Amino acid sequence: MVEVFDMLLVLLGHWRQLCVEHFRGTDESRFSLRSPDGRRRVWRRQGERYSSVTVVQNENFWGGSVMVWAGIWVEAKTELFILQERSLNANNYISDILADYVVPFALVIGPEFLLMQDNARPHTARCVMQYLQEVGITTLEWPAMSPDMNPIEHAWDELGRRVRARPVRPKTLQELRQALVEEWENIDQNVIDISRYATTNSGID
């Protein structure tokens, strides 16, 4: 029985490895001037969890924010695309991302190309699914609230840390855009590959 279980774990690992080598992880992320990595930190003493001095009102993306998109692949990553709109919708997802970035890349990779995207509304709109079908792209869908399953989330975390560690932090949205583009280019592919395998192997000891 133990041998069968071990064999199933090995097969599961091979399946996950196959997925990693044949899909392109893509997603959007938003970075704010207040905290480029999206985190807000509060220091408190024991017993002060609900004290008014340690509770921060949720003011989403205080000071302005920048929304970006990118994709990662085995030994490759796309350029960082800055979304000019404040939010992503199905129309600009097709025109700005799928048509300009995903389709050309899929043509290079060939028939084994799989597009990994979560179930966010702009990704699953009827017009988007119809467009993907027309251009012959197969999707590997992921739940929208399962960021740990998408390896690109680790790349976003690395990007946020790099922007936060710059000697001079961005003070304007234009500076934030420039910093994000520069730091994305500076992320070594080995960092992305390691995070990709770490996500794939999670849950298997």
* End-to-end CA separation in angstroms for the chain: 18
Strand partners, 142: 118
Q: Is this structure's pTM higher than 0.85?
A: no
**18 or 70, higher pLDDT:** 70
Question: What average pLDDT does range 193-197 have in this prediction?
Answer: 59
Whether residue 15 is contained in a domain is answered as no
pLDDT bin (cut points 50, 70, 90) of residue 20 is: very low
C-alpha 123/C-alpha 128 separation (Å) is: 6
Q: Is residue 143 part of a domain?
A: yes
Report if residue 9 sits inside a domain. no
Give Cβ neighbours of residue 107 (< 8 Å, ≥ 6 apart).
none
The CATH number linked to 124 is 3.30.420.10
In a domain, 56, yes or no: no
Instruction: Assess if residue 43 is contained within a domain.
Output: no
Count other C-beta atoms under 10 Å from residue 102's C-beta: 23
Q: Which domain holds residue 155?
A: 24-32+61-199
pLDDT tens, residue by residue, 61-115: 456 889 999 988 777 788 899 988 767 899 999 999 999 989 988 888 788 788 8
Q: Is residue 84 in some structural domain?
A: yes
What are 133-187's pLDDT values in tens digits?
Answer: 999 999 876 665 665 567 788 889 899 999 999 999 999 999 999 999 999 999 9
Q: How many domains does the chain have?
A: 1
Q: Is residue 19 assigned to a domain?
A: no
Is 112 a domain residue? yes
Element (H, E) at 73: strand 65-73
pLDDT number for residue 93 = 95
